[in-house]
């Protein structure tokens, strides 16, 4: 499975960004091969509006099946759902720790947005 | 003549200046006050107007015919505001983000997209003596103020006297409220924030090519840097309203400054004269 994790860092030891739409980038991790790619999210970070939608499009184009982030707003959730991407929320400090939680089955799939739009 | 009252920073006294100028002018001539701060219209708090009409404002947005749509994604690619998103399957619509450019309709190869009007706000007209108040109100949850502001501005009489209470800041709503006015009054307070945001507002108004002057509110509450900045940039100071607790008390009760404290009438009358000179000077130059 390919998973996108929001981060302000560059690698697995970078911090998990609690924001989805306005995270600086995503680490896309293949849970089978452990391969890691960095996907930039600066366009969304600097967008006046629609950051969550744009970020969701970005991870959908990266062909992930799941997203791990801190919070997910309503518009982003709608786009992710439409693309068949599962959303997992985590409070882990680092991307590596969040990934470990996911691997261990400690994260449950979100059924809706957990924050309002323009939360961050 | 149309005069815009604006500010970089919020809460500096735009409404105080606009309402009291309107009241003094409406004593002997027909005056229209346009409350273009549609995210928080508040002129009505100070004016006992009788409502005459109310209209709704809509913005154009797309609807998709599911039968025709082939999910090609062309609409999604052209929309820079992400109001229409097509990933797998039929497009998702976020009408509140649509700017109504019609690009999605143009690029759709199967003509599956039509434009309909989505209600986004209301415009209400009220009258109080010779003063007409037109206020726009953006519906809660809608991010885009300019269409409602433009609808309010359509109510400016062709030849009459119009004052505009602008939204604060320097973004699209301010440009929509000020574009094409005869002159702009920027209300500033003499604080570090006030100085910083006044600088941005001056640049914005100059980009719009409009004559401008500054009214310093709560003039003795801070320091002299706002006055110095105006002198440096060649911006005339039209009036200085002193820091006075009684003004704040009247405002908090919804009483106009000039009703509560008539001793400020000469200050506003003089401010108006300077505004007229500024607008006419601007016309003479252009």
The minimal CB distance from A75 to the residues B76, B87, B94 is found for B94
Asked if residue B233 has pLDDT above 60, the reply is yes
**What pLDDT is recorded for position B100?**
81
Q: Tell me how far apart the alpha carbons of residues A51 and A76 are, in angstroms, rounded to a whole number.
A: 8
Q: How far does A65 lie from chain B, in Å, by closest CA? A: 13
Q: What is the DSSP letter of A12?
A: T
Q: List the single best residue of B61, B85, B143, B144 to mutate versus A (max A Cβ within 10 A).
A: B85
**Interface residue ranges in chain B relative to chain A, Cβ cutoff 8 Å:** 76, 81-83, 85, 87-89, 92, 94, 97, 143
**What pLDDT is recorded for position B99?**
82
Q: Which two tokens stand for residue B9?
A: 């920073």
Provide φ and ψ at B112, rounded to 5°.
Answer: -90, -5
Q: What is the DSSP letter of A17?
A: P
User: A78 by DSSP, 3-state: which?
Assistant: helix
Q: Which residue has the higher pLDDT, B172 or B100?
A: B172
Asked if residue B205 has pLDDT above 50, the reply is yes
Q: Do B83 and A50 touch (CB under 8 A)?
A: yes
Per the prediction, chain B carries an average pLDDT of 94
Per residue in B174-194, pLDDT (tens digit) is 999 999 999 999 999 999 999
- The reported pTM is 0.73
Provide φ and ψ at B156, rounded to 5°.
Answer: -65, 125
Query: Can you say how many angstroms the Cα of residue B144 is from the centroid of all Cα atoms in its chain?
Result: 13
Q: What is the mean pLDDT of residues B78-104?
A: 86
User: A101 by DSSP, 3-state: which?
Assistant: helix
Contacts of B97 in chain A (CB under 8 A): 49-50, 53
**What pLDDT is recorded for position A120?**
46
With beta carbons less than 8 A apart as the criterion, state whether A4 and A66 touch.
yes
Q: Could you report the predicted ipTM of this complex, rounded to two decimals?
A: 0.76
Contacts of B76 in chain A (CB under 8 A): 57
pLDDT category of residue B89 using cuts at 50, 70 and 90: confident
Triad B35, B37, B43: Cα angle to 5°: 45
Residues 6+ apart with CB under 8 A from B248: none
Residues 6+ apart with CB under 8 A from B165: B5, B14, B15, B18, B19, B33, B34, B35, B36, B37, B41, B43
DSSP track, chain B: -EEEEE-SSTTSSHHHHHHHHHHHHTTTS-EEEEE--TTS--GGGG--PEEEEEEEEEEEEEEE-TTT-----HHHHH-TT-SEE-SSSSPEE-GGG-----HHHHH-TT--EEEEEEEEEEEEEEEETTEEEEEEEEPTT----HHHHHHHHTTS-SSSEEEEEPPSSSSHHHHHHHTT-SEEEEEE-SSHHHHHHHHHHHHHHHHTT--EEEEEESTTSS-SHHHHHHHHHTPPEEEEEPP-HHHHHHHHTT--HHHH-GGGHHHHHHHHHHHHHHHHHHHHH-
- Fold for A2-92, please state it: Nucleotidyltransferase; domain 5 (3.30.420)
Q: What is the DSSP letter of A80?
A: H
Q: How far is CA B99 from CA B17, B104, B147, in A?
A: 32, 11, 9
Q: Do A57 and B143 touch (CB under 8 A)?
A: no
Q: Tell me how far apart the alpha carbons of residues B81 and B84 are, in angstroms, rounded to a whole number.
A: 8
**What pLDDT is recorded for position A63?**
94
Q: What is the mean pLDDT of residues B141-154?
A: 91
Q: How far does B152 lie from chain A, in Å, by closest CA? A: 24
The minimal CB distance from A82 to the residues B81, B89, B97 is found for B89
Domains of chain B plus CATH, in order, are: 2-57+121-285 (3.40.50.300), 66-111 (3.30.70.20)
pLDDT category of residue B283 using cuts at 50, 70 and 90: low
Contacts of B88 in chain A (CB under 8 A): 60, 82-84
């Amino acid at each position: 499975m390919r998973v996108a994790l929001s981060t302000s860092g560059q690698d697995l030891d970078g911090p998990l960004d609690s924001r989805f739409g306005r995270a600086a980038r995503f680490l896309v991790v293949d849970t089978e091969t452990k391969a890691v790619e960095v996907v930039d999210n600066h366009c969304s970070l600097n967008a006046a509006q629609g950051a969550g939608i744009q970020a969701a499009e970005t991870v959908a184009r990266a062909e992930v099946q799941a997203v791990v982030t801190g919070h997910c707003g309503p518009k982003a959730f709608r786009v992710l759902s439409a693309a068949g991407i599962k959303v997992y929320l985590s409070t882990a400090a680092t991307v590596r720790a969040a990934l470990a939680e996911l691997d261990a089955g400690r994260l449950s799939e979100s059924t809706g947005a957990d924050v309002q739009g323009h939360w961050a | 003549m149309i005069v815009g009252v604006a500010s970089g920073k919020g809460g500096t006294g735009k409404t105080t200046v606009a309402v009291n100028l309107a009241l003094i002018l409406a004593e002997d001539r027909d005056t229209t006050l346009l409350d273009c701060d549609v995210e928080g219209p508040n002129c009505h708090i100070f004016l006992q107007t009788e409502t005459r009409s109310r209209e709704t404002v809509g913005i154009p947005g797309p609807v998709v015919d599911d039968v025709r749509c082939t999910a090609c994604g062309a609409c999604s690619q052209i929309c820079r505001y992400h109001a229409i998103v097509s990933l797998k399957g039929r497009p998702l619509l976020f009408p509140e983000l649509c700017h109504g450019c019609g690009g999605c309709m143009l690029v759709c190869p199967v003509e599956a997209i039509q434009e309909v009007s989505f209600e986004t706000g209301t415009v209400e007209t009220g009258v109080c003596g010779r003063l007409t108040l037109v206020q726009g109100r953006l519906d809660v949850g809608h991010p885009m103020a300019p269409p409602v502001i433009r609808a309010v501005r359509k109510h400016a009489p062709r030849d009459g006297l119009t004052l505009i209470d602008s939204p604060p800041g320097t973004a699209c709503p301010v440009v929509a409220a000020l574009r094409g006015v005869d002159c702009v009054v920027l209300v500033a307070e003499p604080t570090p924030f006030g100085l910083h945001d006044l600088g941005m507002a001056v640049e914005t108004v100059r980009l719009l090519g409009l004559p401008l002057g500054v009214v310093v509110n709560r003039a003795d509450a801070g320091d002299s840097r706002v006055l110095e900045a105006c002198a440096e940039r060649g911006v005339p100071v039209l009036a200085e309203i002193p820091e006075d607790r009684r003004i704040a008390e009247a405002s908090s009760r919804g009483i106009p400054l000039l009703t509560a404290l008539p001793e400020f009438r000469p200050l506003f009358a003089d401010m108006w004269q300077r505004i007229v000179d500024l607008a006419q000077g601007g016309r003479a130059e252009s």
